Amino acid sequence: MARRSITQLGENESINEVYVASSKQLRPNRQGNLYLQMQLSDKSGAVNAMMWNANEGIYKRFEDGDYIRIQGTSQFYNGAMQVIVSHIEKVDARDVDESDFMQVSPQRMDDMLKELAEHLRAIRNIHLRNLAECFLIDEALIARFRKSPAAVKNHHAYEGGLLEHVVNLIKVGKAIVPFYPQVDEDLLVMGILFHDMGKVDELSTDKGLAYSDEGQLIGHLVSGVSIVDRLTKEAEKLADEPFPEELALRIKHMVVSHHGKLEYGSPKVPMTAEALALHYIDSLDAHMHGFDKLLADDVNTDSRWTTYSPQFGRKLYKGGGEA
Amino acid sequence: MARRSITQLGENESINEVYVASSKQLRPNRQGNLYLQMQLSDKSGAVNAMMWNANEGIYKRFEDGDYIRIQGTSQFYNGAMQVIVSHIEKVDARDVDESDFMQVSPQRMDDMLKELAEHLRAIRNIHLRNLAECFLIDEALIARFRKSPAAVKNHHAYEGGLLEHVVNLIKVGKAIVPFYPQVDEDLLVMGILFHDMGKVDELSTDKGLAYSDEGQLIGHLVSGVSIVDRLTKEAEKLADEPFPEELALRIKHMVVSHHGKLEYGSPKVPMTAEALALHYIDSLDAHMHGFDKLLADDVNTDSRWTTYSPQFGRKLYKGGGEA
Amino acid sequence: MARRSITQLGENESINEVYVASSKQLRPNRQGNLYLQMQLSDKSGAVNAMMWNANEGIYKRFEDGDYIRIQGTSQFYNGAMQVIVSHIEKVDARDVDESDFMQVSPQRMDDMLKELAEHLRAIRNIHLRNLAECFLIDEALIARFRKSPAAVKNHHAYEGGLLEHVVNLIKVGKAIVPFYPQVDEDLLVMGILFHDMGKVDELSTDKGLAYSDEGQLIGHLVSGVSIVDRLTKEAEKLADEPFPEELALRIKHMVVSHHGKLEYGSPKVPMTAEALALHYIDSLDAHMHGFDKLLADDVNTDSRWTTYSPQFGRKLYKGGGEA
Amino acid sequence: MARRSITQLGENESINEVYVASSKQLRPNRQGNLYLQMQLSDKSGAVNAMMWNANEGIYKRFEDGDYIRIQGTSQFYNGAMQVIVSHIEKVDARDVDESDFMQVSPQRMDDMLKELAEHLRAIRNIHLRNLAECFLIDEALIARFRKSPAAVKNHHAYEGGLLEHVVNLIKVGKAIVPFYPQVDEDLLVMGILFHDMGKVDELSTDKGLAYSDEGQLIGHLVSGVSIVDRLTKEAEKLADEPFPEELALRIKHMVVSHHGKLEYGSPKVPMTAEALALHYIDSLDAHMHGFDKLLADDVNTDSRWTTYSPQFGRKLYKGGGEA
Amino acid sequence: MARRSITQLGENESINEVYVASSKQLRPNRQGNLYLQMQLSDKSGAVNAMMWNANEGIYKRFEDGDYIRIQGTSQFYNGAMQVIVSHIEKVDARDVDESDFMQVSPQRMDDMLKELAEHLRAIRNIHLRNLAECFLIDEALIARFRKSPAAVKNHHAYEGGLLEHVVNLIKVGKAIVPFYPQVDEDLLVMGILFHDMGKVDELSTDKGLAYSDEGQLIGHLVSGVSIVDRLTKEAEKLADEPFPEELALRIKHMVVSHHGKLEYGSPKVPMTAEALALHYIDSLDAHMHGFDKLLADDVNTDSRWTTYSPQFGRKLYKGGGEA
Amino acid sequence: MARRSITQLGENESINEVYVASSKQLRPNRQGNLYLQMQLSDKSGAVNAMMWNANEGIYKRFEDGDYIRIQGTSQFYNGAMQVIVSHIEKVDARDVDESDFMQVSPQRMDDMLKELAEHLRAIRNIHLRNLAECFLIDEALIARFRKSPAAVKNHHAYEGGLLEHVVNLIKVGKAIVPFYPQVDEDLLVMGILFHDMGKVDELSTDKGLAYSDEGQLIGHLVSGVSIVDRLTKEAEKLADEPFPEELALRIKHMVVSHHGKLEYGSPKVPMTAEALALHYIDSLDAHMHGFDKLLADDVNTDSRWTTYSPQFGRKLYKGGGEA
C-alpha cells in the first residue's frame, strides 16, 4: 500500500503509518492526567501529535530521532492539522525506506555533490584547488557534510541542507563576481565552501536536529577554522610544499567573519573584499530561503501576511494576487 | 598645452592650472597670520592646497564649486601631496572643458542611460513598464538624476554616481534572480530604479557635494516616495487606468525599507521578497564600491592595510601580492 | 429594556445582549474539542468570551468587527470577568444604535472638530491658514480622520481617539508656547495637526482595530507626508500662488521626525524648535493617556501597582490614598 | 570709562579690560615656543585668547575663575573673534563690579527667588508646603542654589541658571497640569524644585564651571535625595509630626527617575504620573534652552544651519527668513 | 513524627504537612472551573501545587507568606514533582518550628554575624572601624540585615542570603587584595559591607519574597547611600569628630557604582580602585552562586545542560562525569 | 657614564643617549617645513620627541623598533616633557644592553617562568598535567610567549607582560577557588594559561608594539584554540592515549568565551563554572593593572583625577591623601 505522507493527511482520517518522532514530552493536563506530545515528520513535512493517557513506560518506548509506527486519527482545528495517537511502536531503521524521510533524496545529494566537485575542480589557483581536492577525498568529512543541515531552523534545516546552501551560494557568488573585479572568484568559492563547515560538528541530525556540546561551547565558526587548519596540512602533504600563509589567512578570515558583526557571533568583522562579498550573499541566501520556508509552512492561506517569524523578528508580506 | 591633472602632479612642480575649489576655509596660523585652506579637484582626484598670507578679500574671491586658476608649487610630505598656492583667480565655467572635471564622461553617461532604458523597456509587467516610461520621458528628472551622486562620500560620490550605482545594481539583481524564484524581477528592477531616487533632491552637486536642506530635514527615502507618487499619477494619465495599488505599495515599501533597519534610517524594515533582496544587494554594492574607492584613494602603497575608513568603521586588508 | 453594558456585568449574570466581536479564534482544548474564543466590546469596555463545543460553522458565522447578539453567563475568576457563551448570532449594523459602541459620541466628535477648526482658523500665517482650510474642507479626509484612533492600543485606541489626541495636544502646545519664544505657534499647531495624520491610512477600524497593509509597509509618517504634499497643492490652487517651500519643508520635517529617534521609526531626528517641541509634548501626551488607560483598565483594585504595561515596559505605581 | 564687554569687541581693537579667565593652558607651538591659551568671559559672552611667548611664570600668575586684566588686540579670522594678549595681571575680586560678570543679575535673581517662593507657598498640601518652607528658610542651601548653574554647558550654564530652569519649569508644569488631571500639581512642583537640587553639590562655579568630586563620584540625583532626606527631617521638626512616607517616596522617586532611562543615569525609570510628566517637561525645557543657546552662540550668521551641537548630536536648522 | 520535607517527597505519596505558601493564584481551567495554584516551600526547596475545584473562599483563607497545612498527593510528570492538594488550612506561626523553613539556621546566622564582626573589628583605619562599630551596635538594622536576602531570585534568595553574600565577599576580597596593592583593604571591606545594604529596605521577606515600594521606586543603591549617611552621622557622634568627607565619598561611590554600568542601574560607573574591585568580585560571587543554585534546582539530572537560566540568559554546561 | 633614563630627564637638559624609536612620522608645520615626530622609550617610560627641519632622508635612516642615539634638549610645557632632537643615528642592537629597554628583566622573566612551571606541575589531573608539560617543553612557543605583551596598550603592554598577567592570574585564581567549590582548580589554571596564548601570534613586538595580520584577521581567541588543538595532539603522543574530549572542549570554551560577551569579540559566552570565573578575574586583573598604569603614566601630579583613559572610557579618581 502506498505510504500516507504527512501533507496528504485529510481531516478525520484513520492513520497507521511510520514517521520520525521528535520533541517528545510527557505532560499533565489540567486534571493531572499525563499525555504524550511529540512531533511526527517525514520528508513532506511535520505535524504535532498527542497521545492521551500516556505514562512513563510509553514515554520511554522510543527516543527522539527514532522511527515509530503510530495508529491514530487526524484532526483539524484552528487552521492546523494534528494527530491524536492511540498506539505507538518503535520501528527498526532497517525496515523503512529512508528516502521517505529525507527532504533531499540520495540521488539529489549525489547530483549536488557532483556539481560542487565540478565547481571546486574549476578553481584556477593551484594551492586552492589542491586544498579543495583534499576536501573532496576526505570521505569521513564528506559523509558528515552530506548529513548536515545549514541551520536548526529557519532555512535549510534538513539533511543535505548545508550542501544545498553551499552549492546555491557558489552559483550566486559566481553570478555576481563579474560585477566586482576586486573579488577573487577562487577565494570566494573556497570561503563559501568552508564558511559553515563547522556545522558538521555543531549540528547533530542523529537524534532529531539539535546543537552538539561542541556546537554550543565552541561554535561552528571556530570549528570551521580547525577543519581548514587540518585540510591545509593535508594539502601540504599532497603538494609537498607549504600552503601559502596569506591564502590560509584569507580563508580563515572569511570563516570567522561571515556573520558580519561581533554581536552576531563573529569574533572579527569582514576586512577583505571576499569576506565582505561572502557576508552579504550569505545573508541574502539565508533570508531568501527563510522567506521561502515561511511561505511553504504557512497555513494562513487566506491572509496577506505570514505568521510571525522569529528569524525575521516580524511578519512578512505575501500580498494579494493581482497585477 | 596639455592639462596637468591632479594625479599627474610630481614633487616640487610649478603649477598654473584650473581646478574646482571646495571646502575653502580662512584660518590663522600660530602667529596669528591668516592662511587659506581649500581642496582642489578635477576628474582624476583631489589635493589639499594652502595659500599663506591670505585675507578676507581673497577668501571672498570665489565660492566652493567654482572653477579657479591657481599658480603655485606642489610639495610632498608625510606621504601626501599638497599645493602651496601663490595666486588665485576665478574662471568662468564657459571657459573650461567640463569633461576635465567629471569622473563620468557625458558619453559614458549617455551610454549608461541607454542601458538603463533598455532594462526598463524590457519589463514585462505592463503597469510597471508604463511607470518606467513615465520616468524616462521626464526630462527634468532625468537631468537631475544624471547629475546626482549616490552618496556624499564613500561610494559613487560624483556626478553620474547614482546612475552608475543603479545600472550596476540592476545587472546584479538580474544575475541573482534566477536563484530566487520568489523574487519578481520586474518589481526588483523598479525598486532598484527608485530606491535612491530621492537623492536628486537630497544631494546637491552645484556647489561642491553637500546635503540640501530637504535632504537633511526629510531625507531621500521620503523624497523618493514623493517621486514615486508623482510618477504613478503620470502613469495613470498615460495609461488612462488606475495604477494597481498593490504594485505602488510594494515599490514604495522597497524605497522606505532599503536601509534594512530602523537605526539606519528606514522607517520600516523589509517585508517582501523584493525588498529583502534589494537591501542585501544594495549593501553589497555600496560596500564593494566603498572598498574600491578606499583602494583607489589609498596613498599607503607599501602597507598591507588601507587607512581607517569611516564608512566601514575599520581598516581593510589589502594583503601582499603572492599566491 | 435598558442595554446591559460590559462594565455593568456582575458575577453569574444571564446575558442576552449585542456587542462588537473581535479577535475571534477557534481553538482545541486538551481533550481535542474545539471552542471559540473572542473579545466582546461596547463603549464601556471589553471582556473575554468563550463558547465551548464550537465548530467551523459557528466560527464563520461572523467576522471581527461585526455586531453579534450573544446569550450566555458571566463568570468571575482570577480577578477578571469572562463570559461563557451558549448562543451567537450576527446582527445587522442598521439594527443597532452605534452610539452604544463608540467611546467618543458623535456629539462630542462634532464638538472637538469645531474646537479644532477654531484653533486652525486662528492661525496668523496666511499660507498656513490656507493649508489648514484645505484640510477642513476635505470632507473625505475629515471623515476618515474622525474614525481614526491614535494607536492600536495603549492610548486613544478608539474611534475619535486621533481627533482627541490632536485637540488636546494643540491645547498643550499653546499652553507651553509662551515659555519658549523661539517656537512659532502657527507652525507647531500645523505640525500637531499633521503629525499622526497618516494614521487615517495606517489604522483601520472597520474590522476591529488593526494595521492596514499600507500602515505596515509604509507607515504613518511617510503616509502623512503624502497627505501634506497633496494638501499643499490644494492650498496653491486655493490661494493661486506657490506655497512657501520652507514652510512645507518644516511641516514635513515635523511629521517625519516626531518619534524623536531613528530606532523609534523616525527617518530623521528633530532639527527645528517646533519639531523638538512637538516630539516632547507628543511623548508627554501619549504617556499620560497611556497611564490613564492603564489605571482605567486595571482590575487589581487593591494593589498599589498596576499590571505590567507593554507600552511602558514596566508596572506603574498607583500608591495608597493618604496625604 | 565705560566697560568694553566681549560682544562689543570689534576687529583690530586695542583692549585694556578685566575679564574672568578659564580653561587656561600652556602649550608649545610648532617651533617649540610656549604660548598661553585661555578663555575670557564676562556676562555678555566668551572669547578665546592667546598670549605668545608665555612661560610657566605667567601661567601660574592666576587660576581659572580669577578676574584678570588683560592688554591686547582683537583679531577676526575664520568667522570668529580672538584676542591676542600682550599683558596679563590678576585683579582682586573686591575691585570689580561682579554684576559685570553674571548673566543673571542679583536683582533678577531676587525676583526669581520671590517668584519661586510664591509658587511654593501656594502649595495646598500641608505637608508639602511645610517641606517647601523648610527649603525657603535654609539660607545656606538657598545661597548655593542661587549660585548653581543647571548644567556645565548646553543650557543654563551660568550662576542663577538652575534657579531660572526651576522657575520656568514650574510655570510650564502648571500650564500643562489642567490637561492631565491624574497629575498632582503640588507633587509636580515639589519634584521640579528638587529634581536638580543635587547640582548645588555637583557643580562648582567658584573656579570656572566644573564638576566637583562629589558630583562625579555620586552624582546630583543621589545628592538630591540626601537633600530631600534632610529637609523632610526638618519638616518633621517644624510640624512636629511625621512626614508622610508615601509623599517622601514620591518626591525622591521623581528625583532619581527624572533622566528617564537607566542609560541616561537614572537608577530607576519614571513610574508615577508626576515622574513621567517631570521627565518630559524637563527634557523639553533643557532642549529648548539648548537650542536657544546654540542660536545665541552661533557665529555662522549667514548659514541656514547651526554648528554641530554635542548636546543634540547634530546640527539644527535655523532656516531662512521668509514666510 | 518526623517532618516530611519537600525534597524528600516521592511519587504518589500521601502528604499531610505544613509549608509556606507563596505565589497563590485562582485560575479557571478550560471548562471554566476554578483551581488554586500556589508554591509550597520549606528550607529544603519548593514545589508547585494545585487544588482543583477551588473558589474565592479558599483563595482568601491564607496569604502569601503564611504557613499552611496541606493534605494531598505528590505526582511526577514531565520530569518535575507537583502536589495535588485536597485540603488547606492556615497554621499559626507560633505553632511551627521556624528553623524548618529557613535555609540558613539561626545558629549559622549567629556564626556568620560573629565572623562579620571579627572582620569589621580588624579594620585598621580608625574612622572606618568606628563606622563599622556603629553598624554593629545598630540592633534594628542588624535585625533587618539578618532577614534580608541578597536577591529576589537567582542567588542568595533567602533569609540570611545577604549576610552570607557579604561574609563570603569579604573573604574573597581579602584573598585578592595581596595581588593588587593599590586597593585599600579597609575601604574594600566597608564597600562590601554596604554595597547591598539598601536591600534591607528594598526586599521584603515578610509576605514571600518581593520588592517593597521603596525598593521599586528608589532602589537599593540609593537607599544604601541613605544608610551610610545616617551611620556616618552616628560615627561622628561616637568619635566626637567629623567623619572624613573623602572616606564617606569613597564608600558611597562604591555603593552607587557597584553594578558597573549605567544600563545595569548604577548612576555612576566605578572610578576608584576599590569600586572597580568590588564590581568585579561582586559579579563573580553573584554568578558563581547563581550557577550553584541552578545546579541545585536542576531536575534534569541526566542532561549535560541546565535548564534555561533567566539570570544568565542562557543554559549552562554541566557536562559529563569523566576525566 | 651612567645611562640617562627617560624618567630621569629634567627640564632643559642636554641629551646624548640611546633609546628605542617608535611611531615615527614626517610632518609639515604651518610654514610647509617638514619635521620628524617620534616616540623615544626605554624601560623607564616614553617621551615624545621632535626634530625640526627634517627630511625624507632622515626619516628613512631608521625604522620603528630600532635603537637610535639622539642628541638634543629636553623641554617642559603644558605639564609634559618633550625632547627637541638635533641629531639622530641608528645603533646596532649588539651594541646596547637590552636590559635597559625591557620593563621586565630577563632574570625576572626566568623567575616568573619557573613560578609558572611550578603551578603547572602541581596540577593533579594527569591529562591536564601532560598537556601543561607539552607547553613547557615547546621551546619555540615559550620563546614567543616570553616576548609577548598582554595588550597593545592599557595593561601589561610590554615584553613579558603576558607572562606576568598569566602568573598573577593563576595566583588570583588559586586564591578564590576555596570559596567556589564548583570550580575545578586544575581546569581554571589551564584556562588561564591558554586564554590569551593566541597573543603570541596576534601581537608583534619586533617593530614596536602592533597587531600582526593574523591578529587582525583572525584574532587571538581563535589562534589560541589552534594552539590548544596542536598541544593536545602533542599530549596524546606523549601519553600515548587519547586526550579526553570533554577536557579539551572545556579548555577551548574558556579561551573563546573569556571576553564575556559577543560584542567584546567572544563568539560564545561563558557557560561553565571555570569559564565564568576566568572571565571575571581576567576583567578584574586587566582593570586593576590598567588603573596602575594610568597612575604610573600620570603627569597631572597635583590633580585629584587621572587623565581621560580610553580603556575605561572615563577619568578615574585618585583623590587626596588624607584619612
pLDDT digits (tens, 9 = 90+) for C221-247: 999 999 999 999 999 999 999 999 999
Q: Do chains B and A touch (3 or more CB pairs under 8 A)?
A: yes
- E251-265 average pLDDT score: 96
CA D59 from centroid of its chain's CA atoms: 27
The predicted-structure confidence for A179-220, as pLDDT tens digits, reads as follows 999 999 999 999 999 999 999 887 665 555 566 888 889 999
* Residue B85, all three cell numbers: 598656492
- Give the mean pLDDT per block of 10 residues along chain D (323 residues): 79 88 76 80 83 86 87 76 91 85 81 96 97 96 88 70 94 96 96 95 62 87 96 95 95 97 94 96 94 74 75 83 41
Encode pLDDT of B52-77 as tens digits: 888 888 888 888 778 899 999 988 75
Q: How high is the pLDDT of residue A323?
A: 36
Mean pLDDT of E192-196: 97
Mutation target vs C (from D257, D291, D303, D311; most C CBs, 10 A cutoff)? D291
Of B26, B216, B217, nearest to D77 by CB-CB distance is B26
Mean pLDDT of C156-176: 91
Higher-confidence position of D239 and A101: D239
How much is the mean pLDDT over chain C? Answer: 87
Q: Are the C-beta atoms of D257 and D270 separated by less than 8 Å?
A: yes
Q: Which chain C residue's Cα is nearest to B225?
A: C222
- State whether C52 and E34 contact (CB < 8 Å): no
β-pair partners for A89: A69
Least confident of B24-28, C6-10, F74-78, F307-311: F74-78
Residue % of chain F over a pLDDT of 90: 52
Residue-wise pLDDT for B241-255, tens only, equals 999 999 999 999 999
Distance of CA A197 to the CA centre of its chain: 12
**DSSP states of A59-85 as a string?**
HTT--TT-EEEEEEEEEEETTEEEEEE
Handedness of CA F208, F213, F218, F222 (dihedral sign): negative
pLDDT band with cut points at 50, 70 and 90 for residue F323: very low
Nearest CA in chain F to D59: F78
Give the CA radius of gyration of chain B: 22
pLDDT for E275 equals 97
pLDDT digits (tens, 9 = 90+) for C22-57: 878 887 765 667 888 888 888 777 788 999 888 888
CB within 8 Å: A319 and B168: no
**Nearest residue on chain A to C55, alpha-carbon basis:** A77
ipTM for the predicted complex? 0.83
Q: Which residue has the cell 637638559?
A: F13
Distance CA E151, CA C2 (A): 54
Q: Which residue matches cell numbers 573673534?
A: D81
**pLDDT in the model for residue A159:** 82
Q: What pLDDT does residue C131 have?
A: 97
The whole-number average pLDDT for the span C178-203 is 93
Give pLDDT, residue E322.
Answer: 39
Cα nearest neighbour of E75 on chain A: A32
Q: Is D28 close to F77, i.e. CB distance below 8 A?
A: yes
Does position A129 have pLDDT exceeding 70, yes or no? yes
Measure CB to CB from residue B314 to each of A271, A283, A316 and give the nearest one: A271
In the DSSP assignment, the letter for residue A190 is H
Q: For position A322, what pLDDT does the model report? A: 39
Cβ-based contacts of C304 with chain E (< 8 Å): 213
Interface touch D267/E266, C-beta < 8 Å: yes
* D27, D35, D77, D83, best to mutate vs chain B, most B CBs in 10 Å: D77
What's the average model confidence in pLDDT over A123-131?
97
Q: What is the pLDDT of residue B8?
A: 78
Residue E269: the pLDDT is 95
Nearest alpha carbon to residue C323 among D255, D246, D271: D246
pLDDT at B48 (0 to 100) = 87
Decide if A168 contacts A141 (C-beta within 8 A): no
Specify the pLDDT at position A321. 47
Tell me what the pLDDT averaged over chain F comes to.
87
Taking an 8 Å cut-off on Cβ atoms, the answer to whether C27 and A52 are in contact is: no
Contact C77 E217 (CB under 8 A): no
* Position E1 confidence tier, pLDDT thresholds 50, 70, 90: low
Q: Which residues of F touch B317 (CB under 8 A)?
A: 213, 216-217
Q: Report, as an integer, the average pLDDT of E114-118.
A: 97
C78–E27: do the CB atoms touch at under 8 Å?
yes
A288 contacts B314? CB cut-off 8 A: no
Q: Across the interface, do F225 and A226 touch by the CB < 8 Å criterion?
A: yes
Q: H-type helices in chain C, by residue range?
A: 56-59, 106-121, 126-136, 139-147, 161-176, 185-195, 199-202, 213-217, 220-239, 245-257, 273-297
Mean pLDDT of chain B: 87
Instruction: Tally the C-alpha atoms within 13 A of residue A213's C-alpha that lie toward its C-beta.
Output: 18
D132 and D190 in contact (C-beta within 8 Å)? yes
At F145, the pLDDT band (50, 70, 90 cuts) reads very high
Q: Which long-range contacts does C115-121 make (Cβ < 8 Å, 24+ apart)? A: C115/C167, C116/C163, C116/C166, C116/C167, C116/C170, C116/C193, C119/C167, C119/C170, C119/C174, C119/C189, C120/C189, C120/C193
Which residues of F lie closer than 8 Å to D, measured between beta carbons? 29-31, 35, 50, 52, 75-79, 82, 84, 304-305, 315, 317, 319
Residues in Cβ contact with F311 at an 8 Å cutoff, skipping those fewer than 6 apart: F153, F154, F155, F287, F290, F294
Average pLDDT, chain A: 87
pLDDT given at position D108 = 87
Question: For the residues B89-107, what does the mean pLDDT come to?
Answer: 83
Q: How confident is the model at residue B323 (pLDDT cuts 50, 70, 90)?
A: very low
Q: What is the mean predicted confidence (pLDDT) over E236-240?
A: 94
Q: Taking CB atoms and an 8 Å limit, are F31 and B50 in contact across chains?
A: no
pLDDT band at A319 (very low <50, low <70, confident <90, very high): confident
Touch A-F: 3+ C-beta pairs under 8 A: yes
Residues of B in contact with F28 (CB under 8 A): 75, 77-78, 82
Residue C203's pLDDT band (cuts 50, 70, 90): low
pLDDT score of B5 more than 90: no
Q: Is the Cβ–Cβ distance between D216 and F317 less than 8 Å?
A: yes
Do D71 and D84 touch, CB atoms closer than 8 A? no
- pLDDT, one tens digit per residue, over A251-287 is 999 999 999 999 999 999 999 999 999 999 999 999 9
DSSP state letter for C311: T
- CB spacing of C252 vs B222 below 8 angstroms: yes
Closest Cβ–Cβ partner in E29, E52, E78 for A26: E78
Dist CA D217 CA D211 (whole Å): 10
Q: What pLDDT sits at residue B312?
A: 85
Beta carbons of A28 and E78 less than 8 Å apart? yes
Which of A20-29, B55-64, B183-192 is most confident? B183-192
pLDDT tens-digit readout, F240-285: 999 999 999 999 999 999 999 999 999 999 999 999 999 999 999 9
Q: Which of B193-197, C188-192, C208-212 shows the lowest mean pLDDT across its residues?
A: C208-212
Q: Looking at beta carbons, which residues of chain D come within 8 Å of B28?
A: 75, 77-78, 82
The pTM of the full predicted model, rounded to 2 decimals, is: 0.86
A60, closest residue in chain E (CA to CA) = E78
Residues in B closer than 8 angstroms to A307, CB to CB, are none
User: Given a cut of 80, is residue B78 above it in pLDDT?
Assistant: no
* Residues of E within an 8 Å Cβ radius of C: 25-28, 30-32, 34, 213, 216-217
Q: Which residue has the higher pLDDT, E144 or B28?
A: E144
Q: Answer for the pair D12, D74: CB distance below 8 angstroms, yes or no.
A: yes
Q: Is the pLDDT of residue F37 over 60?
A: yes
- Rounded to whole angstroms, the Cα distance separating B282 from B257 reads 12
pLDDT of residue E230: 95
Contact (CB<8Å) A280/B276: no
Q: Above pLDDT 90, what percent of chain B? A: 52
